[in-house]
Amino acid sequence: MNKVQQIQRRLPVGNLGSVGNILAFVSIKGGVGKTTLALETASSLVHNFDKKVLLVDANFSAPNIGLYLDLTNDLTLHDALNGALLHNAIYESHGIDIIPASMYYHGAIDPFKLKKILNKYKPRYDFIILDSSPNYEELKPVIAAADKIFLVTSPDNVTLTTTLKAAKIAREQETPIEGIVVNKIRSPKHEYNLSEIETISEIPVLAKIKDHKKMAHSLYQKTPITILDETNVISKEIKRFASAICGSPEKDGWFQKLIPLKNILQKEKVNRSLFREKFYESL
Ligand SMILES: Nc1ncnc2c1ncn2[C@@H]1O[C@H](COP(=O)(O)OP(=O)(O)OP(=O)(O)O)[C@@H](O)[C@H]1O
Ligand SMILES: [Mg+2]
């Protein structure tokens, strides 16, 4: 069976109207975690929620999903943007269908073709997830191709300022911003908290993720943390975030169930309920 047949066989039956949301992880700052979050969210949607996911490296100048997963590839997104059949550039890793991009591509490409070539693949997937470049010009075609945007930021002034700029581009292009994922939380005392981020940006925070040393292990193993260690705090938060994307209810852990202690001891909690309802309705 060839790859396309394989993909078609796994189509969710009778659910075609609700498949194919193109979700992009976006920021105008390098190193905040776009690739990590795109990959981990894709992995959780596949492994925790049995979704069919296409992960696309839409970082046209400095792609690295292939490096994260140790993919060897011939054809890439760059070739597809230059007329090659997209399905020939799809590779499978950890149950995720992946379109890598070329590190060294000498031909000219029109990144604005991305929307058109991906739209054809929407019916085959529950979700198409786009990683992106922090480069302002490269970001525009990704935002144009996406149905919904997740802004990735770390909770510091410099990064949040650049995040607001990314939000401005998305608004100018009229692509809905679903929310912010706060990544690499290091020292809450010296960083913005969630409500400050929501007040400054006027955008809801949908996930909060610590800066965790285990991510180095994941990188070294070339395996998503959501697969390597399901009990890791990052894996759990990614799972809750992915669950909201799927519209599944979020269960309280044992700690949340201790009602009398809740308000005293509980850390600032992400409120995903509105997002879940709105996102699910719009599918
Ligand atoms: N929550 C985290 N805790 C610890 N390390 C992290 C976390 N998130 C990402 N990293 C690490 O930070 C580095 C940069 O992450 P990543 O490549 O995802 O950023 P990026 O926004 O995609 O960068 P670029 O803009 O250059 O593409 C990687 O080494 C990654 O493993
Ligand atoms: Mg990246």
Domain membership of residue 225 as a residue range? 20-281
> Is residue 144 included in any domain, yes or no?
yes
Specify if 139 maps to a domain: yes
Which pLDDT score is estimated for 276? 66
Length of the chain equals 283
Please list the alpha-helical segments (H only) found in 31-175. Answer: 34-47, 65-69, 77-81, 114-119, 136-145, 157-172
**Distance from Cα 13 to the centre of ligand 2, integer Å:** 33
Q: Is any atom of ligand 1 closer than 6 Å to the C-beta of 232?
A: no
- What is the C-alpha to C-alpha distance for residues 40 and 214, in angstroms, rounded to an integer? 13
CA angle 258, 263, 268 (to 5 degrees): 105
Listing DSSP states for 8-50 in one string gives HHTSPTT-GGG--EEEEEE-SSTTSSHHHHHHHHHHHHHHTT-
User: Which residue has a Cα nearest atom 31 of ligand 1?
Assistant: 215
pTM of the shown model: 0.88
Q: Which two tokens stand for residue 201?
A: 């940006």
Among 34, 23, 22, residue whose Cα is nearest residue 159 = 34
Task: Tell me how far apart the alpha carbons of residues 75 and 95 are, in angstroms, rounded to a whole number.
Answer: 19
Task: Determine how many CB atoms are found less than 10 A away from the CB of residue 169.
Answer: 17
* CB-neighbour burial class of residue 266 (10 A; exposed 0-12, middle 13-18, buried 19+): exposed
Share of the chain above pLDDT 70, in %: 83
In this predicted structure, the answer to whether residue 251 has a pLDDT above a threshold of 80 is: no
C-alpha pair distances (Å), 55 with each of 20, 133, 245, 258, 277: 12, 14, 15, 39, 24
Nearest protein Cα to ligand 1, atom 25: 30
Answer whether residue 67 is part of any domain: yes
CA 120 to chain centre: 20
Is residue 13 domain-resident?
A: no
What would the mean pLDDT of 91-117 be, rounded to a whole number?
94
Q: Which of 31-45, 109-123, 162-176, 236-250 has the lowest mean pLDDT?
A: 236-250
Nearest residue (by CA) to ligand 1, atom 3, is 211
230-260 exposure pattern, b = at least 16 Cβ within 10 A, e = fewer: eebebbebbbbbbbbbbbeeeeeeeeeeeee
The CATH number of whichever domain residue 104 belongs to comes to 3.40.50.300
Domain count, the chain: 1
> What local confidence, expressed as pLDDT, does residue 9 receive?
27
Tokens 């191709």 belong to: 145
Residue 2 lies in a domain: no
Model confidence at 260: pLDDT above 50: no
Ligand 1 binding pocket includes 110 (Cβ within 6 Å): no
Asked if residue 171 is part of any domain, the answer here is yes
Residue 24 inside a domain? The answer is: yes
**Spatial separation of the C-alpha atoms in residues 214 and 189, rounded to whole Å:** 22
Lowest mean pLDDT across 33-47, 220-234, 235-249 = 235-249
Average pLDDT over residues 80-105: 95
Q: Which atom of ligand 1 is nearest to the CA of 38?
A: 18
Say if 4 falls within a structural domain: no
Question: pLDDT per residue over 155-186, tens digit each?
Answer: 999 999 999 999 999 999 999 999 999 999 99
Q: Is the distance from the beta carbon of residue 35 to the nearest atom of ligand 1 less than 6 Å?
A: yes
Distances (CA, A) of 62 to 92, 112, 170, 253: 21, 17, 21, 39
Q: How many whole angstroms from its chain centre is CA 182?
A: 12
